[in-house]
């Protein structure tokens, strides 16, 4: 059985994203050796898995691995955020980032 460790309440203005009107469309894993310039990027989208070698440009972790769930706003499909899990010095950190059009184009060809 899982236990909720901490609940964080965010207001709509915290994300600039419509509340309760979004959908997950991809999961991305950034597999990076510590401080490496190269990152193996695994993209899981539309029931398919794609792997590419890339730089660390879109990885929210400054030094290692991370996983991100990409979410689109249903009313405005150009608005995308990513919900990221990062480990740093023995801590697991959860971050929310806005996603640029450049990142969408580079990773998903959108």
| Residue 3, in any domain of the structure | no
| Residue 58, in any domain of the structure | yes
| Residue 31, in any domain of the structure | yes
User: pLDDT band at 8, cuts 50/70/90?
Assistant: low
How many domains, in total, are found in the chain?
A: 1
The yes-or-no verdict on residue 74 having pLDDT over 60 is: yes
Residue 63's pLDDT is what? 84
SS3 78: coil
| Residue 13, in any domain of the structure | no
| Residue 15, in any domain of the structure | no
pLDDT in tens, 9-68: 666 566 666 655 568 899 999 998 888 888 999 999 999 999 999 888 999 988 889 999
Q: For the chain, where are the alpha helices, taking DSSP H only? A: 12-15, 101-108
Residue 35: give the domain boundaries. Answer: 21-108
The yes-or-no verdict on residue 5 having pLDDT over 80 is: no
């Amino acid at each position: 059985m899982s236990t909720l460790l901490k609940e964080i309440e965010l207001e709509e203005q915290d994300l600039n994203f419509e509340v309760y009107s979004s959908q997950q469309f991809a999961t991305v894993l950034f597999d990076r050796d510590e401080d490496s310039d190269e990152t193996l990027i695994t993209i899981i989208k539309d029931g398919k898995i794609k792997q590419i070698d890339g730089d660390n440009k879109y990885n929210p972790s400054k030094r290692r691995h991370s996983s991100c769930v990409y979410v689109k706003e249903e009313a405005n499909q150009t608005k995308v955020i990513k919900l990221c899990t990062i480990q740093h010095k023995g801590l697991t950190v959860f971050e929310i980032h806005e996603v640029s059009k450049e990142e969408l184009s580079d990773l998903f060809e959108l």
